[in-house]
Amino acid sequence: MHISCLSIRNFRNFKSAQLHFRKGINTIIGENGSGKTNLFFSLRILIDNTLPRYFKFYQTDFNRVLDSWAGHWIIISITFDGLDTSEEAQALAIQSSGHMETATQGSYSVYFRPKYQFRKELYEYSQVEGKDSAGLKLLLDKLAIEDYETVYLCRSTADFSIDDIYKKYVGDFDKIEFPDPDDKEELIFGTWLPKEINIHNELSCTFIKALRDVESDLRSYSSNPLISLLRGKEKTVEITKQHEIIESIDQLNEQISSLDEVMEVKNGIDKSIKETVGTTYAPNIDIKSELPNEMEKLFQSLKLWIGDPDEDGHKGRISELSLGGANIIYLSLKLLEYEKVKTDRIANFLLVEEPEAHVHTHIQKTLFNNLKENKTQVIVSTHSTHISSVSNISQVNILSRGDKEAQIFYPSKGLDKDEIIRIERYLDAVRSNLLFAKGVVLVEGDAEQILIPEMFKKVFGLSLDEIGVSLINIGSTGFENVARIFHPDRVRKNCSILTDDDTSIVTLPADPKTDTEYQAHCRASEKSGKERKLRLTDFCKGNTYIKPIYAKYTFEVDFLMNSNSYEFANCLDSIYKQGAAIDKAKEKLENKSVEIAGVEVLRIAGKHGKGWLALLVAEQLVYNTFIPKYILEAIAFAAAHINISSKAKAVLHRIKHIQEHDGNSLQEKAKDFDVKDKSHEEIVSAFIADFKNDQLTTFLAFL
């Protein structure tokens, strides 16, 4: 049995959420504050016996999107798949109407709702002919959190994360329509568990939180998985060996107790007590060694001793381990315990919060790859790209921060097996950060990967990371293989595809047969560019989360021809040793004709490598390096979420650098630009009005 779905309504930062899980390993990834901890807590309320059986919710547990919490319900529901035929599992089973066969799907839910009397009042008011919002508010204002109840039910068939379901069976606060609580609707809400079945006794759940000190758990009798693994093993020890061990311990206890040093202390205590209270009332004193002489207790006294793999021959107590090492030991023991000992439970669950807090990169990846146990469902939360890079996207849920509520994305929804495999092969630890970003720009080469983030930072004073945009170099992988993740059914984040039209930079003759070798190469590139454009246009059609944006020629040429010859010319000293070669190359790069300047920059890039040339150019970027408009458009599409504070920061950066550069025609206007006592909105609006031709204004217009 495993959890296949978690539905959450109105709990903390989840307004209406549904997450999907599979058997085995599942990953929850998301930025800080996206709700990973709240998600785990939702699960634990239902299945973790370390939390109170009837959990107490508070006003602050209601989602803040609600105008008022009064009258609303918090609903958390788990759907189980793969139920076996046991009575305990079938108690959760959702029985199909009219069928008595064994069910394989079940559910368990918690409802935090107004008590019956208040729900009855809401229903009765909804039947009043002159009902209105003012009257409803007067009724809701009487409701206190003490008027709520916590109810646990099984076999629910409703998904209350769906608005229409919630409004029908909980209430429509806008239309003032509420159901009659006397209509039990057991098929919808579920039924009580049989009295003889306690769900917490039928399954196991361990939560390993981030920064957890598991050393105390490894010392605890009740929670130490080593003790659980050893429990009962004493019964399999041969009787003769048991007698030998117990006899030797009895002798050892006697030897310790009869030591002169021990006897001296015993006699001293005995004398002191008798002198204090007299011989009539003084108890008789002795000191005895009590090393356990029962096999069960002897096994309980066993402790793990750990040796560092780099220090052969040395082993120490668990307390000598780093916190990360202790967590690895604990996690491994817990999995073994579930697989070998707790086989009588209908399900085992291991919830691991941010293992990257203690476990370094290589162990993260190895650990995650090797968690392939069959009897335990593992759910890991992370914001580590190293863990997410080895996660199957079919077993990933992505959380993203929204306005007072979490957004949830399923990157594999609707994709076929081959499409999923291609994406998973691509997502290494570098590229998988696209799953965490608020927006993504896909590029196809090293030069774009190096230069675009650098020029954006230099010109606008903002890093792409700062505004939540990941720029990903897809290399030789087709754009479609990755971009298909961004879709209304999957990850609802903007993704720009930044590529080239590859228009020929030289004039091509009408007859291809007369092409020179260089012209033939340009013609072939131009043809490929047109075919790529048609393919991408068709691929993106109808999907508002993907936007293909094209350079006219190719990246280096378009960057150069946008008045950026200065940056390339300043690199020539690092490319050529002879002054004549430098002068010749500079003259060509500064030519206004693409047939001269474009050919030259591609010649240099082809000779020394595009990535290498991009590194040199990156060192020459200045505040007024001109970012081509197609790049601004691509970043703006990916950064549609950018906030006013970031916009204002970019404005202040531009103003500062315009003020500092003599000879700039806008210098005086920049010096007169007043930001005192202005809000961020006012600063941005004033900049747009005063600097209509600045490239920041162009970028803001694209937004």
CATH number, domain with residue 165: 3.40.50.300
Q: Write down which residue in 574, 597, 632 finishes a domain.
A: 632
Does 236 fall in a domain?
A: no
User: How many residues belong to the chain?
Assistant: 703
Tokens 């646990």 belong to residue: 152
Does 211 fall in a domain?
A: yes
- The answer on 455 and 401 residing in a single domain is no
- The answer on 579 and 554 residing in a single domain is yes
Single pTM value for the model: 0.80
pLDDT level of residue 374 (50, 70, 90 thresholds):
low
- The answer on 540 and 496 residing in a single domain is yes
- The answer on 672 and 622 residing in a single domain is no
pLDDT (tens digit per residue) in 324-348: 556 666 777 777 777 776 667 888 8
Does 426 fall in a domain?
A: no
Tokens 């490319």 belong to residue: 575
| pLDDT at residue 314 greater than cutoff 60 | no
Does 543 fall in a domain?
A: yes
Region 121-130 average pLDDT: 96
pLDDT level of residue 134 (50, 70, 90 thresholds):
very high
- The answer on 141 and 2 residing in a single domain is yes
- The answer on 697 and 585 residing in a single domain is no
Region 213-225 average pLDDT: 62
- The answer on 670 and 618 residing in a single domain is no
| pLDDT at residue 75 greater than cutoff 50 | yes
Going by C-beta distance under 8 Å and a sequence separation of 6 or more, which residues neighbour residue 623? Answer: 458, 459, 654, 657, 658, 661
- The answer on 561 and 490 residing in a single domain is yes
- The answer on 687 and 556 residing in a single domain is no
- The answer on 48 and 85 residing in a single domain is yes
- The answer on 458 and 346 residing in a single domain is no
Q: How many domains does the chain have?
A: 3
* Alpha carbon distance 299, 198 (integer Å): 30
If 0-12 CB within 10 Å is exposed, 13-18 middle and 19+ buried, where does residue 156 land?
buried
pLDDT in the model for residue 384:
76
- The answer on 448 and 374 residing in a single domain is no
pLDDT in the model for residue 100:
45
Instruction: Report the mean per-residue pLDDT for the chain.
Output: 87
pLDDT level of residue 121 (50, 70, 90 thresholds):
very high
Four-residue CA torsion sign, 439, 441, 442, 447: negative
pLDDT level of residue 321 (50, 70, 90 thresholds):
low
pLDDT level of residue 610 (50, 70, 90 thresholds):
very high
Q: Write down which residue in 415, 447, 477 finishes a domain.
A: 415
* Alpha carbon distance 345, 201 (integer Å): 8
pLDDT in the model for residue 699:
98
Region 592-614 average pLDDT: 94
Domain that holds residue 685: 643-702
Does 274 fall in a domain?
A: no
Does 291 fall in a domain?
A: no
455: nearest Cα among 271, 331, 622, 255:
622
pLDDT in the model for residue 97:
44
* Pairwise pLDDT comparison (148 vs 391), residue with the higher score: 148
* Pairwise pLDDT comparison (38 vs 272), residue with the higher score: 38
Least confident segment among 242-246, 262-266, 290-294, 415-419: 290-294
The torsion angles phi and psi of 490, rounded to 5 degrees, stand at -120, -105
